[in-house]
Amino acid sequence: MTLIIIKQDGTRYNLRELGIRVIDFEPESLEVVNAVQEIEGGGYVVTNSGYGVRRLHATLQIKGYDMTDYALFRAEVFALFVGLESFYVIDEKVASRRWHVKPDGKFSISRKNTNGTFDITWLCVNKYAESIATTSSFKEWDADVWSWDGTIDWDEDLQYVFNTNQFVVNNLGNAPIDPCENELEIVIKATAASYLQIVNSTTGETYRFNGTLSTNDTLTIRGIQTFKNGVSSFKFTNHALISLKDGLNNFVITGGTIHSIAFNFRFLYK
């Protein structure tokens, strides 16, 4: 068992290769938080539900050749795990998924001779695990970025680029994609005389761009932002967003003709 740490600059650390033994790694489940309101006379009603903070827990061990080597190793551990920037953690057992985390609190290394064991906790920046591959990644059997776990079929064509005004986007994760919190980019090549309207019939959301589009234009919806040919165009929209529920999402586009529309996102897992 090992964990992979990927820093924001792309530097990759395999804990096994660093000589750090992973004894245990356990993510917490999502915490369901309910807001309740008491009812006069007794009882209560649930007024809202959401997810709380999520953490990952690991038990790690280091070994030194002598006390000097142990002390230097301990300093390297502090340098690796203590900081204010977020990073990614990958469990080798599920190498196709990653966790976006930040250090949480402090840890102490319990030493016995030149061996040290410690428990470390990470706070999840994104409450879900996310696929390393995006929907624009090429599907390769021997690549460690894909997970053949029942949601992704090797023989299935993963289509996320369409050239019609009606199509279905399959979110193969088991959590919704919220553009306010998660990566979601929609790149559109279309012609439109005065507007282009995108409806996700599954979620009931309607996005509308008010303006003309020619074959030379590219409309990009990136998160909560809209760009036409790289220029911010949010003010020309109805300020609505497009999200994706887990599973099938049925889309209908009106107001113009779609030449190409591409959805790029990562699958999320509870």
Residue in the structure block whose two tokens are 């009106």: 254
SS3 36: strand
Pairing of strands 115-124, 166-171: unpaired
CATH number given to 159-269: 2.60.120
pLDDT digits (tens, 9 = 90+) for 26-77: 999 998 888 888 887 778 888 788 888 999 999 999 999 999 999 999 999 9
Pick from 125, 60, 53: nearest CA to 86? 125
- Which pLDDT score is estimated for 164? 95
| Amino acid identity for residue 124 in this structure | C
- Listed as ranges, residues in the chain with pLDDT below 70 are 138-156
| Backbone CA torsion sign across 204, 205, 210, 213 | negative
- Which pLDDT score is estimated for 41? 76
- Which pLDDT score is estimated for 38? 83
* Architecture of the domain defined by 3-31+52-127: Beta Barrel (2.40)
- Which pLDDT score is estimated for 184? 96
- Which pLDDT score is estimated for 154? 62
Indicate the domain borders of the chain. Answer: 3-31+52-127, 159-269
- Which pLDDT score is estimated for 156? 66
Residue 213 DSSP code: B
What whole-number distance in Å separates Cα of residue 6 and Cα of residue 16? 14
Pairing of strands 97-103, 129-134: antiparallel
